Amino acid sequence: MRKAIISDIHANLEALKTALDWIKNEGIEQIICLGDIVGYGANPNECVDLIREYCTVVVKGNHDSATTDGEDLYNFNPYAKKAVLWTKEQLSKRNYEYLYYLPLKVEIGDYTFVHSTPKKPERWNYIITEYDATLSFANFEGQACLVGHSHLPGCYGTDESFILEQEFVLTEGVKYIINVGSVGQPRDGDPRLCFGVLDEEKRDFAWIRLEYDKEKTGQRIIESGLPPYLADRLKVGR
Ligand code: ZN
């Protein structure tokens, strides 16, 4: 079975729709979302509605949590904070409750799905360096842990590999931590939306990059009264 794994949508409706259309056209059977459905962008309800409709597994991100759990916002930058407070006012009761009750981590067969880290996901730590990855390998069963959170696609393996190629085959006996990248706010310098496709039979993982209507997303952000910086950064993917 092929699984599309999307993360960090951040209320970017144009990017989410583009990704879902591509996934549908490819005939991919299952869609998994690694959280941060809301925050930063101007269409939180529309994005939560689509995720509810199309994703079979969804875990909670730190923005979903901050918006619904009343979590302290001390580690959010001023732009993120403003977006969280704005999103809180926009969310329907139904979508608010949906985000509130999302699980932090889900394990299916050989794979673990989590927004931040497999150990204590509620601390929202990042796996950015090889050292971070080393600390996490012992904290999940199965072959691979799929994460989001940093918005930086890439993969660390227990064989000390760091994979950035567009596609790779998972080697038997090696464990992996794969960051699927961000649909709604890429930060690796490539403004195209990013997500992953895992082919379970072939043991193959690929990152998909697609153009989407960034101008429209940016316009919606500005019209909503959210910080214009949140529109600008989409143009450069930082
Ligand atoms: Zn995020």
pLDDT above 90 as % of the chain:
92
- 149 alpha carbon – ligand 1 mean position (Å): 5
CATH of the domain at 166: 3.60.21.10
- 2 alpha carbon – ligand 1 mean position (Å): 24
- 40 alpha carbon – ligand 1 mean position (Å): 9
pLDDT tens-place string over residues 55-100: 999 999 999 999 998 777 878 899 999 999 999 999 999 999 999 9
Pairing type for strands 204-210 and 167-169 reads antiparallel
Which residues sit with Cβ closer than 5 angstroms to ligand 1, an ion? 8, 36
The DSSP output letter for 139 is: G
- Mean pLDDT for 219-232 is 97
Q: In this structure, is the dihedral angle defined by the CA atoms of residues 34, 40, 44 and 50, taken in order, positive or negative? A: negative
Confidence band for 126, pLDDT divided at 50, 70 and 90: very high
How many structural domains does the chain have? 1
Of 115, 160, 110, the closest CA to residue 140 belongs to 110
- 106 alpha carbon – ligand 1 mean position (Å): 18
- Mean pLDDT for 155-162 is 93
CA-to-CA separations, 187 to 24, 76, 102, 182, in angstroms, rounded? 25, 16, 25, 8
pLDDT of residue 12: 98
Prediction pTM value: 0.96
Confidence band for 192, pLDDT divided at 50, 70 and 90: very high
- 8 alpha carbon – ligand 1 mean position (Å): 4
Distance CA 120, CA 126 (A): 11
pLDDT tens-place string over residues 12-27: 999 999 999 999 999 9
Distance CA 192, CA 71 (A): 31
- 77 alpha carbon – ligand 1 mean position (Å): 12
Which range of residues forms the domain containing residue 26? 2-236
CA-to-CA separations, 144 to 61, 105, 221, in angstroms, rounded? 19, 13, 35
Distance CA 86, CA 78 (A): 12
Q: In this structure, is the dihedral angle defined by the CA atoms of residues 86, 92, 93 and 94, taken in order, positive or negative? A: negative
**Above 80 in pLDDT, residue 210?**
yes
Phi, psi at 41, each rounded to 5°: -95, 175
**Above 90 in pLDDT, residue 47?**
yes
- 172 alpha carbon – ligand 1 mean position (Å): 30
- 203 alpha carbon – ligand 1 mean position (Å): 27
- Mean pLDDT for 146-166 is 94
Phi, psi at 53, each rounded to 5°: -75, -40
- Mean pLDDT for 190-215 is 97
Mean pLDDT, the chain, whole residue set: 96
